Amino acid sequence: MGMKNPALVTVLHLLRTQSHLQQRFAAELGGVHGLSVNELLLLMHLDQAPGGRLRRVDLAQRLDLSQSSVTRMLAPMEKVGWVERAEDPRDARVGYVVLRKSGRRLAREGTRTLTAQAEALFAERWSAQELATLNALLGRLSAHLPGQLAAG
């Protein structure tokens, strides 16, 4: 009964696709760079932010995660020196996450890997025109969300 509803069918396709892509990309990112997809996205957001820094609350919004999830994610990244914490000199209550040199390098290497994976994925099934159409349609769904990553 519900499966004839085009909106529901589309959402189910999107959820299934998102789950599949997360798994597909996680394997290679983990194997090559020791990164999860969310860790790479976090590093990419910092890499593209002015001064390579964002507040934890902004990272949480951009990643659609809770602040506590972001804090848990950051702990091992701080230990290995990819990021560091900094306070706002004007307001000690505001904490920033700052990308360090090794984190910036990893963000860019991981982005290159993800780009190659994405190109391979779409080259298998899609023409350039189909990909442009899909990109435009999905872009309308996410246009209002904070912190869109640039896909140079």
pLDDT digits (tens, 9 = 90+) for 17-65: 999 999 989 998 999 899 999 999 999 999 999 999 999 999 999 999 9
Q: Residue 103: what residue type? A: G
Does a structural domain hold residue 141?
no
Compute the distance between CA of residue 4 and CA of residue 76 in angstroms, rounded to an integer.
Answer: 46
State residue 124's pLDDT score.
Answer: 80
State residue 94's pLDDT score.
Answer: 81
Does a structural domain hold residue 142?
no
Does a structural domain hold residue 139?
no
For residue 113, the surrounding DSSP H or E stretch is: helix 101-125
- The region that residue 91 occupies, defined by phi over 0 for left and psi between -120 and 50 for alpha, beta otherwise, is beta
Nearest in space to 70 (alpha carbons), one of 84, 82, 59: 59
State residue 76's pLDDT score.
Answer: 96
- CATH number reported for the structural domain that contains residue 33 in this entry: 1.10.10.10
Strands 53-55 and 83-88 turn out to be unpaired
Q: What residue numbers bound the domain in which 39 lies? A: 2-127
Name 126's Cβ contacts closer than 8 Å, sequence gap at least 6.
Answer: 134
User: How confident is the model over 79-103, as a mean pLDDT?
Assistant: 91
pLDDT digits (tens, 9 = 90+) for 97-131: 999 999 999 999 999 999 999 999 889 889 999 99
Does a structural domain hold residue 11?
yes
- 147 neighbors 45 (Cβ within 8 angstroms): yes
Does a structural domain hold residue 145?
no
Straight-line distance from the first to the last Cα atom of the chain, in angstroms, rounded to the nearest whole number = 43
Does a structural domain hold residue 152?
no
Does a structural domain hold residue 69?
yes
Question: Is residue 151 predicted with pLDDT exceeding 80?
Answer: no
pLDDT digits (tens, 9 = 90+) for 127-144: 999 999 998 998 888 888
- State the total domains in the chain: 1
Structure-token pair, residue 35:
């990164």
Compute the distance between CA of residue 108 and CA of residue 85 in angstroms, rounded to an integer.
Answer: 21
User: pTM for this one?
Assistant: 0.87
Does a structural domain hold residue 103?
yes
